[in-house]
Amino acid sequence: SKYPNVEKIKLSRAKDQTDLQAALEKIDRSFTHIKLIACLGGRLDHSLSNIYSLLGQPRRAFLETAHESIFAVDSAQPLELSAEYLASYGALSLFPLYGEAQNITVTQGSLGVDRIARCHLSEGLDPILLKGTNIQVACGSGLVIGVLHKQPQFKTTLSGSSPIITQ
């Protein structure tokens, strides 16, 4: 085998969960940050299923792409992210799931609470610009999906009298 020290898990084809959900259940609870790669893109149904897999692992599992990191936060406890982890990210977007999420707070280092809001399913919070410090994301009730966005490289060109901003 190419990876002799890696445990292999044999899954039945007939099961009530996805392969990713089964794998996440097998991971030792002492791991507090699980980075999942190659879980988005391709088939939309697989990508959505993988995003919903985060709901069973709030504050613990992160779907990582070249441009984003996606995670879930529930009301059990806040998510703490270090300035080192956030160094390549420029903004954070939050989206409530399953109806309403209340008292969502984002605290950046010693800067205090950046945003408190009550959200409904059809609403998200405008992106919060990150300020290079640790952050804490908390949700008073409900469930929230967070998306960290890598810092884009913008360039501005003029078209007539209007600027056009592209990545």
Residue 152 CA: distances (Å) to CA of 43, 68, 132, 136, 147: 25, 11, 15, 23, 14
Could you report how far apart the first and last alpha carbons of the chain are, in Å? 43
With 60 as the cut, is the pLDDT of residue 118 above it? no
Reported as a pLDDT band with limits 50, 70 and 90, residue 86 is very high
Residue 22 confidence (pLDDT) above 60: yes
| Lookup result for tokens 């605290």 | 107
- Is the per-residue pLDDT at 153 higher than 60? no
At residue 121 the predicted structure's pLDDT band, cuts being 50, 70 and 90, is: very low
Burial of 130 (0-12, 13-18, 19+ CB in 10 A): buried
pLDDT at position 113, please?
Answer: 64
